[in-house]
Amino acid sequence: MTTSTALDRFYSVIPAGGIGSRLWPLSRADAPKFLHDLTGSGQTLLRDTWNRLAPLTGDQRIMVVTGRAHRKAVEEQLPELADHNVVLESEPRESAAAIGLAAAILELREPGVIIGSFAADHVIHRDDIFRRAVAEAVEVADAGYIVTVGIRPTEPAIGFGYIHSGGKLDVPGAPSALTVESFVEKPDQATAKRYLASGHYLWNAGMFIARADRILEEIGRSEPELLAGLLELAAAWDDPATRGPAVDRIWPKLKKIAIDYAVAEPAAAAGRLAVIPGLFDWDDVGDFASIAKLHSGGRKRDLAILGENARVLADSSSGIVISEGGRTIALIGVEDIVVVDTADALLVTTSANAQKVKAVVDALKLSGRTDVL
């Protein structure tokens, strides 16, 4: 006789959405961030994410929530992905709807299921440490908490939200679990330094592990209409005759809200949120400066070069070149530069301006140049 452990009831959910506007012109509507290799691993971030999770749950217990337009690319990346584990959004409606729908579908199929949601486009080094942290999180989730894995900060970053951790939680199998005092927004530099020095703050990496019923319960408390829509949609999901009409009717009306606001912050405020400190390297590669840092090993004087057929000639230049086309690229005396060279679009900026790339995408939209978006 075998005993069912919490980990046996664990199911991974990968929300693969978001274009990654700050990574234009690399990321596009038809080639979003998660379909790129930004680490030089030789495979896409989505595939990296799958490979990180599969040892925890097996291939059959990973669900991917993605846009209809990306179905083909996702299935090409993940040939092991089972049909019933593909949840297609007819249009993007943010993370509470995406993860909430996965929770509702899985809870109906398998009451008591524990789900863990992990973005398709983050970078992690030391998958083994990541998996040990998730395994602890699953134990804490089984005890009824909403659990997050917070990353132990290595610098006073101002580009991430933070998790203010509290005292130790006493949950068997989860020796490093802590209570959470609060979620805090991206800080200014001085505040970030204070957070780092205190030792009580972790980066919010948007990883949530919880029993599906607990996630739905939290959504119901903060967004009852959203919950009602998700439950109605989930009830229609597994019947081919009812799914389509339900999606068309319900999905476009669901409230757009991040899971941080709908679930994590209220749960934290009510003392129902726990955190496992993640002692692995993590980055959300949110902009080109972050990719540059990833490749420079922290050395500011380096020039990182990405692209299979990159032909780059550089003289006393630093920063990052991403080359998609294989054209010869010459850099002379440019510092902290960001050059992204694709077939139909070229970006030239600096690390310091990397966050402003989204504004270009907005400007292109406004000017009707959607062919390069």
By CB under 8 A, residue 362 contacts its own copies:
no
Query: Which residue of 30, 341, 365, 368 would you call a contact of its own copies, by CB under 8 A?
Result: 341
Give yes or no for a cis peptide into 277 (omega within 30° of 0).
no
By CB under 8 A, residue 290 contacts its own copies:
no
By CB under 8 A, residue 309 contacts its own copies:
no
By CB under 8 A, residue 308 contacts its own copies:
no
Whichever of 273 and 357 has its CB closer to its own copies, that residue is 357
Query: Which residue of 20, 25, 206, 307 would you call a contact of its own copies, by CB under 8 A?
Result: 25
By CB under 8 A, residue 349 contacts its own copies:
yes
**Are the beta carbons of 152 and 278 closer than 8 angstroms?**
yes
Could you tell me if residue 101 is left (phi over 0), alpha (psi between -120 and 50 degrees) or otherwise beta? Answer: alpha
Nearest to 251 by CA among 270, 230, 266, 224: 230
The distance of closest approach from Cβ of residue 96 to its own copies in the complex, given in angstroms and rounded to an integer, is 32
Please tell me the distance from the alpha carbon of residue 245 to that of residue 251, in angstroms, as a whole number.
Answer: 10
Beta bridge partners of 66: 16, 88
The distance of closest approach from Cβ of residue 295 to its own copies in the complex, given in angstroms and rounded to an integer, is 18
Nearest to 210 by CA among 262, 276, 144: 144
Q: How many residues bind its own copies (CB under 8 A)?
A: 35
Query: Which residue of 126, 353, 365, 368 would you call a contact of its own copies, by CB under 8 A?
Result: 353
Using CA atoms, how far residue 12 sits from 72, 135, 234, 313, 331, in Å, is: 20, 12, 17, 43, 43
**Are the beta carbons of 229 and 104 closer than 8 angstroms?**
no
Please tell me the distance from the alpha carbon of residue 109 to that of residue 371, in angstroms, as a whole number.
Answer: 41
By CB under 8 A, residue 315 contacts its own copies:
yes
User: Phi and psi at residue 345, in whole multiples of 5°?
Assistant: -150, 150
Within 8 A by CB and 6+ apart from 27, the residues are 19, 20, 21, 33, 36
Using CB under 8 A, which of the segments 45-53, 72-80, 298-306, 333-341 binds its own copies? 333-341
Beta bridge partners of 211: 114
By CB under 8 A, residue 359 contacts its own copies:
yes
Instruction: Mark 217-256 with x for binding to its own copies (rule: CB under 8 A) and - for no binding.
Output: ----------------------------------------
Query: Which residue of 112, 270, 363, 365 would you call a contact of its own copies, by CB under 8 A?
Result: 363
Tokens standing for 281?
A: 């390297």
Using CB under 8 A, which of the segments 162-170, 179-187, 263-271, 321-329 binds its own copies? 321-329
By CB under 8 A, residue 285 contacts its own copies:
no
Sites of contact with its own copies (CB under 8 A): 24-25, 311, 313, 315, 327-334, 337, 339, 341, 343-350, 352-353, 356-357, 359-360, 363-364, 367, 369, 372
